[in-house]
A and B are shown apart, each in its own frame.
Chain A
Amino acid sequence: MAFVQNFPFFSIILTIFSGPLSTMLSNKKAKIWNMILIGIVCALNLAVLAFVISTGESYTYMMGHFPAPWGNEIRVGVLEALMAVFFCVVMFLCVISGGQERAREIEESKQNLFYVMVNLLLCSLIALVYTNDIFTAYVFVEINTLSACGLIMIKNKLHEGRTLEASVRYMIMSLLGSGMLLLGICFLYGLTGHLLMSNMQEAIANLVATGQYQIPLLVAICLLSVGLAIKSALFPFHSWVPDAYGYATLSSASILSSMVSKGYIFLLIKIFFRVIGFEVIIGSHVLNVLFIFGIIGMIMGSLDAIQENSIRRMIAYSSVAQIGYIYMGLGLGTTAGVVASIYHILSHAVTKALLFVSAYGLTNVSNNRRDFKQLTGAAYRNKLAGVAFTVGALSMVGFPLLSGFVSKVLFAQAAVGVSSTKMFFTLVALAISTILNTVYFMKTVIRIYTPMDAETEKEKGFTRITAKEDMGKAIAMICFVVMNLVLGVLSQPIIELIETGLAMFM
């Protein structure tokens, strides 16, 4: 066994133990340690990715000394490694981007606790990605939820009440979701007698072949899908999103929007492919339900966003719409659709984080007021943020050369391959949603590029800042923009990776 194969486990262990460590460090040291840690984890996962690509096949990694079907396992394939690397990178950028806000908004004494949450979150994400054991997955889902909740509620001087309320709402929704998830897992366990994904799949294939327990199986599938859908804020379970994303501190908001919900979706995809089998899922028609809600979400999210008067809440609503895209892709029920969804996970993560970071950059120079009126001319006050926001917005709109375009193409192509009703709805929904996206994003772009005359600016006490004054954000924005372009222009290798990864799932 190659040494590299240990790395996934190492990264989980490293992150989980760095949590307690961070509590003991001072704020500054905690920050530096976290940066290093994420860097290391990223490097480890990169090595894993390279290894898996070079061998061309996935491997399972036994935890402890019990072999399957009893022990706990980690499974590593191309897709898992890719997601892990990706999450690390985005996490890194999200954390460095929010330094100023954290210093300003979070109480001095609680700042290092933020890093604990980040550690736990990263740990749970990586574990979710790699695990081969469904109950382990459940446990890490809960850890994920708890740490995300921590990120939202962390003592925020500006909006304490809001964040508290938001985190309660978030928790309640999540608990509903995890309750259903757990029930689903119990059902499956009861049906199959296994917890390891590969074994479960065999058992289920057996069940399907013999025609036994069809109804419980269907119930289990429903419970799992709905549970994870609730947790990932699929319409209509999105009521917590705008508050949570809109009032949490910058890093939290970008982390939550770009990764937490994506982790759940990835888990769902994994369950579909690795536990239940995609054929069975397609046969169960659960996908149709997801598809419908995905489409409604796409439209409703955008409509809400249009009415929104605060830039952050607008971006949050846009997330709801984008989650809708992903579920719509899943709902198409083809591999191409799933590839598109996964690609959109990447593209949306990059774009949404970019939007949050740049939106903060813009509100920072507008007295932290986020209603649109105050944002007039913000792009001149913070030029980099203006450009970055524009890029993000264009990507959301599906402008060619940016990542959003490629995922749109992939969705549409996937849609053309399926039955005509679904295809029709998908294409029309894509078109309408594009228009709606245009409406609210480009409205904002135009707004921030409309100059405010110097006097009013002075009167309101708006400042101008350059990129150097907030290096963290500058670096993050530049990196996100570059990633966006890379995803938009050089999509081929990434799509291929996703496809091989999915093939390994089968």
Chain B
Amino acid sequence: MSEMIMPIVVLLPIVFGLTIPFVPLKSKKAKMFYVEGIVLVTSILAILMLLNQPTAEFTLFRFTDYLNVSFRLDGVGSVFVGICALLWPLATLYAFEYMEHEEHQPTFFMFYTITFGVSLGIALSQDILSMYVFYELLTMVTLPLIIHSLSREAIHATRKYLYYSLGGAAFAFIGVIFILVYGDTANFTAGGVLDLVALADKKELLTLVFFLCFCGFSVKTAMFPFCEWLPTAGVAPTPVTALLHAVAVVKAGAFACIRVTYYCFGPELVKGTWAQTVLMCLIIFTIVYGCSRAIKETHIKRRLAWSTVSNLSYILFGVILMTPLGLVGALCHMCFHAVMKITSFFCAGAIMHKSHTNYVHELDGMGRKMPFTFIVYTISGLALMGVPGMCGFMSKWALADAALTDGSPLAIAGVVALLISALLTAIYMMTVTVRAFFPGKDFDYSKLDGVKDPTWMMLLPFGLFVIAMIVFGVNAQPFVDFFTNIAMALM
């Protein structure tokens, strides 16, 4: 019966999330507890589930005989569940303080909680159709979160997000159908579900379809040329940008790419074909392009968003290498980047929330006023740069290891791109730090009166994230072992 926990984990936040605007709780505090309660219970259940590792599958409902929505927990899924389950409660806590003065809080938290369930749904999906269903749902439930402020900008951003996402999904859909029709089974199977011997005459076609499908899913992962939406979506409240656009939504895209590549079409089909080459070129370009745009960008959240664009392509780079090591690298970066980016976004959010500034040049001298926030920001920046001893280094290491084991010129170009991007990261992260702490001799601090560090609700997540970044960085072996186990199943 242990498989019953899967639908519970998915549906609990969705169902209870829907009740948030309607619960008759008067005080704000009570509502906060209610929301945090839902999220925490879900997280705890999710973690219990991870510990328990149910092997059976659970079918939620059937479209037709062979099309259904069903859940099964496997290695890659566990990783994604783990990321969501650990980050969501903290992010919610953060959101309470951040959203204090915003309108429509109940609606916001409703969708915020539902999104949790949907993300878990993506992670737990057993087959590509289920994943697609949750993937589309994710787009829809995150929509109200982005549009939250209902300003002209927000609406514009939402539209862009929507068009990109659904457009991508439309192409991904082609791949979904092919897997349903040609796959031996629709369920995710390590190494792919296509019988390459039987489908020998369709190889070209399937490669093309894989290409379309990968591009489709990579829209959410903001691969060039589909990356414009992500920075634009930065108008959303920070907890949304942080959690969704650094963790859940974009990682869902990466996760989907992993699923499609390793568990549906299979590396064997695509490896060495034009599809791999073209995708890899795009990805490598994105890695550098994202960082360059980040440097040019002066809006702090958009800068981080561009950084996300670049970092997400690290993950895709691992994916597209099509080797078990590449998958290890991709998973590593998926986990570690989640922690790093959520931290930097939260810092940015805290800064914006406390000082009502949006642009990098307005941050001068802020380091003295919000020391904790900026120290955390700096640490996350160092981690993103890949300073050894921080988690960013480990994932870079894993990716570079995978690429060089592969040894093809493009893969090596990818490593170079990683390093260039690391340098650019140093530029766009560290300028902020340095200027915040050293604004120049004649800086007038009285301008910043009233700016101070946020309360414990924001600081607690900070602290935990910093610890996580260092622990992952210093002791990455258990993670790598875990990921290697997952990847070995592909062999």
Contact = CB atoms under 8 A, between A and B. Distances in A.
Interface of A: 394, 397-401, 406, 408-409, 412-413, 415-417, 420, 427-428, 430-432, 434-435, 438-439, 442-443, 446, 449-451, 489, 491-492, 495
A347 B122 CA distance: 27
Interface in B168-194: 169-171, 173-174, 177-178, 180-182
A88 to B, nearest CB: 26
B155 A450 contact: yes
Nearest to A416: B181
B155 A446 contact: yes
B133 A400 contact: yes
Interface string B10-48: 000000000000000000000000000000000000000
A451 B147 CA distance: 11
A443 B159 contact: yes
A451 B177 contact: no
Majority DSSP secondary structure for residues of A touching B? helix
Contacts, number: 82
Interface in B208-229: 212
A387 to B, nearest CB: 13
Nearest to A410: B64
Nearest to A493: B64
B162 interface: yes
Contacts of B212: 431
Nearest to A412: B177
Contacts of B205: 420
A450 B177 contact: no
B147 A400 contact: no
Contact of B163 (A398, A439, A449): A439
Given A412-B177, A416-B177, A446-B147, A492 B163 contact: no
Contacts of A420: 205
Given A400-B137, A430-B173, A431-B173, A409 B163 contact: no
Nearest to A406: B63
A111 B243 CA distance: 57
B147 A408 contact: no
B61 interface: yes
Please provide the 10 A-B residue pairs with the shortest distance between their CB atoms, ordered closest to farther: A434-B170, A412-B177, A400-B133, A431-B170, A435-B167, A438-B166, A416-B181, A492-B64, A427-B174, A431-B171
B61 A409 contact: no
Contacts of A495: 64
B181 to A, nearest CB: 4
Given A399-B140, A400-B133, A416-B181, A434 B63 contact: no
Given A416-B177, A427-B177, A491-B63, A435 B163 contact: yes
8 contacts: A400-B136, A416-B182, A431-B212, A435-B166, A435-B167, A446-B147, A446-B159, A450-B155
Contacts of A431: 167, 170-171, 173-174, 212
B180 A434 contact: no
Contacts of A408: 173
Contact of A401 (B62, B65, B133, B180): B133
B105 to A, nearest CB: 16
B132 interface: yes
Contact of A446 (B158, B166, B171, B180): B158
B4 interface: no
Nearest to A427: B174
B136 A430 contact: no
B150 interface: yes
